[in-house]
Chain A
Amino acid sequence: MSSSTIHVTRQHPAAVPGTTGRERPRLSTGTAIVYLILAVHLTVVIFPFLWMAYSSLKSNQDFLASVWSLPTNPQWANYGKALGEGKLLVYAGNSLAVTAVSVALTVAMATAAGYAFVIYRTRWMPWVEIAMLVAMAIPAYVALVPLVATLRDAGLLDTRTGVVLPTVAFNLPVSVLIMRAFFSTVPRSLVEAARVDGTSELRAFLRVMVPIARPAMFTTAIVNTIWVWNDFLFPLVLLNTPSKKTLPLGLTDYVGERVTDYPVLLAAVLLAALGSFVVYVALQKQVIGGLTSGAIKQ
């Protein structure tokens, strides 16, 4: 954390290579071209979202008459329809439950495991670490067929619990590595002091280490929230009853059923995307930190 904040980001114009130090042109051709390319590229990335936002307010006739035109008479009722017919709130509730439980379990187990990896040096520890690294590269769909059979035998098929369990397992390896990376930055002396105190190992962990680890746990929670909230594969295969489905799954069902009123569909897609977007805007720094540490493994 501390080391990454020291670096220099602001630059002196004179130090920019390619521009000669003495004349300092305000906008060189090269820079102008870069601006232009980025402007076009950013438009391609963001325009579909903007188009979705304004098209969702059109009437179906207006929408079919012209792809580009802005809504002349905003149909706010489209949103009411999408919410009501689409049962989006039911699906969102399921997503919320699955996400909350999965994230809590994952963070708790990852914190304990990440701590153990750094603190305890036993002979078999490297093997557990290798197993975690291998598990990270394994695509979830490979285990899908046996998972369904196992969960069916346990009576957990078509339950939200049945979605939580494999979700947690597949998100654990990366989460453990994020927590391990954090604990390896904690001064050894602090750990020893907490342990020598005569308190039990568990108490030292809970009383001293967990409070220190809170920022890292939050990062782990954020990145897991994004993964679980957006996950599609496990719910698709494991859930069947409509009232139990998560948001991405319920949304595809709704879009599949309702094929004619396009602006209402766009409103539904926008509503489904809104939760992630709002969290991203509100917690931008933490989300970016979470994505960064979630991606760089090893």
Chain B
Amino acid sequence: MSTSTRSVAARRDARAALLFLAPAVLFLAVFVAYPLLTAGVLSFHSWDGVSPRQWTGLTNYERLLGDRIFWGSLRNNVLVALTAIVFQVGVGMVIAYWLVRVVPRIKRFAMFVYVVPVVISEICIGLLWGFVYNPYFGLLNGFLNAVGLDELARGWLGDRSTAMPAVLVVMNLTYLGLYILLFVAAFENVDEAVYDAAAIDGAGHYRTFFSVSVPMVWSNVQATTLLAVVSSFKTFSLVYVLTRGGPSNATDVVSTYLFQTGFGNFEAGYASTIGFAQILLTAAVGVFVLGLMRRGKRGEA
């Protein structure tokens, strides 16, 4: 085949590729890339969202550095991510192992139940848990009264000290099902012969889990950890519907704080600064977590 026919084919390929990709790329350019770049520009402005915007240089970023609510909400995002790694990825892995290796008889039923909160809207979940935590007729206080722990009863979401833990419990119970699902699929793909070998070696479940199952699905552990971290920084609906970020910003995450700043206080410029800083920080955390896991893997091998 001569070079000219190859280049003709290449050009035909390029044209066809453009045709097939154009719609998706156009959508991403207009509704993701363009707003993102605009947010970057806006982050250097003072703007109420309507009247002409004013260039203020680094003022917004200086304000951000000293903004205790922002750092508090970022800290809450980190809490969401850390608890997600432990209680969604970690616990999900253990429960999936149990369902596949220890109690396969109830695997189908348990998976069915665990996935229910994943498919139902977070708004419904949040409204329902609002009832669970209600100080007057809540399920949780009702339970505590029933078992004689009346002193512990309180307004769980209205109390600064318990609001964030209460939100975290709902989040981790809700999304856990997704991780169980993913690890059940991963563990079922592990060759049975590997387990036979472990059994011959006399390994119990504890050792089998840590020295066989987890290493065998390590790429899934990495992928799901990344998923958990990325999702944790995206979280909005559950916090919004449970507490709106309150009481007095105790449960604010970056998304709810940005929403309040941009659409409650009409500080569109500063809201963009919050969002833009968030992207940079998310990227940093993502790289950090990936690097950590690479090292963890190497350390194990």
CB contact between A128 and one of B25, B220, B233 (< 8 Å): that residue:
B25
Contact, CB under 8 Å: B199 / A295: no
Interface of A is mostly: helix
Complex interface bits, B109-147 against A, C-beta within 8 A gives 1, otherwise 0:
011111111111111100111011000111101100010
Contact, CB under 8 Å: B35 / A276: no
Q: Is B208 an interface residue (CB 8 A)?
A: yes
Q: Is B210 an interface residue (CB 8 A)?
A: no
Query: Which residues in chain B, 1-58, are within 8 Å of chain A measured between CB atoms?
Result: 10, 12-14, 16-17, 19-21, 23-25, 27-28, 30-36, 38-39, 42, 49
Q: Which residue of A lies closest to B114 (CB)?
A: A45
Contact, CB under 8 Å: B27 / A122: no
Contacts of B20 in A (CB 8 A): 112-113, 115-116, 120, 201, 205
Q: How far is the CA of A48 from the CA of B125 in the complex (A)?
A: 9
- Residues of B within 8 Å of A, CB-based: how many? 109
Q: Is A16 an interface residue (CB 8 A)?
A: yes
Give the A-B pair count, Cβ closer than 8 A. Answer: 306
Contact, CB under 8 Å: A288 / B181: yes
Q: How far is the CA of A151 from the CA of B282 in the complex (A)?
A: 27
Contact, CB under 8 Å: B110 / A291: no
CB contact between A291 and one of B118, B146, B198 (< 8 Å): that residue:
B118
Contacts of A287 in B (CB 8 A): 115, 119
Contact, CB under 8 Å: B32 / A143: yes
Contact, CB under 8 Å: A269 / B36: no
Residue from A48, A128, A265 with most neighbouring chain B CB atoms (10 Å): A48
Q: Is A73 an interface residue (CB 8 A)?
A: no
Contact, CB under 8 Å: B24 / A42: no
> Nearest chain B CB to A90's CB is how many angstroms away?
16
Q: How far is the CA of A201 from the CA of B27 in the complex (A)?
A: 22
Q: How far is the CA of A230 from the CA of B39 in the complex (A)?
A: 26
> Nearest chain A CB to B192's CB is how many angstroms away?
4
- Residues of A within 8 Å of B, CB-based: how many? 104
CB contact between B21 and one of A128, A144, A252, A277 (< 8 Å): that residue:
A128
Comparing B64-72, B158-166, B255-263, B292-300, the segment that makes contact with chain A is B255-263
Contact, CB under 8 Å: A9 / B104: yes
> Nearest chain B CB to A34's CB is how many angstroms away?
5
Contacts of A51 in B (CB 8 A): 139
Contact, CB under 8 Å: A48 / B19: no
Query: Which residues in chain A, 137-178, are within 8 Å of chain B measured between CB atoms?
Result: 137-150, 165-166, 168-170, 172-173, 176
Contact, CB under 8 Å: B31 / A165: yes
Contacts of B35 in A (CB 8 A): 143-147, 150
Contacts of A273 in B (CB 8 A): 120-121, 124
User: Given that A150-B35, A288-B181 are known contacts, is A45 also in contact with B118, CB under 8 Å in the complex?
Assistant: no
User: Given that A38-B106, A137-B286, A280-B119 are known contacts, is A150 also in contact with B34, CB under 8 Å in the complex?
Assistant: yes
Complex interface bits, A103-147 against B, C-beta within 8 A gives 1, otherwise 0:
000001110110111011110010010011001111111111111
Complex interface bits, A15-32 against B, C-beta within 8 A gives 1, otherwise 0:
111100000000000110
Contact, CB under 8 Å: A230 / B199: no
Complex interface bits, B232-247 against A, C-beta within 8 A gives 1, otherwise 0:
0110110011000000
Contact, CB under 8 Å: B31 / A16: no
Q: Which residue of A lies closest to B53 (CB)?
A: A149
Contacts of B196 in A (CB 8 A): 15
> Nearest chain A CB to B195's CB is how many angstroms away?
7
Contact, CB under 8 Å: A232 / B123: yes
Contacts of B202 in A (CB 8 A): 17
Q: Which residue of A lies closest to B257 (CB)?
A: A141
> Nearest chain B CB to A136's CB is how many angstroms away?
8
User: Given that A49-B128, A255-B127, A291-B115 are known contacts, is A297 also in contact with B223, CB under 8 Å in the complex?
Assistant: yes
Of all A-B residue pairs in the complex, the 5 with the closest CB atoms, nearest first, are A169-B31, A67-B142, A143-B35, A142-B275, A116-B20
22 intermolecular pairs with C-beta atoms under 8 Å apart: A9-B100, A30-B205, A46-B116, A49-B128, A109-B24, A109-B27, A120-B16, A140-B234, A142-B258, A143-B32, A144-B271, A146-B272, A149-B49, A149-B268, A173-B28, A248-B123, A248-B237, A262-B131, A273-B120, A273-B121, A280-B116, A298-B223
**Besides A117-B21, A276-B120, 14 new A-B residue pairs in contact (Cβ under 8 A), listed by A number:** A16-B102, A38-B95, A120-B13, A128-B21, A135-B28, A138-B36, A144-B262, A146-B35, A150-B34, A169-B32, A266-B128, A277-B116, A287-B119, A295-B181
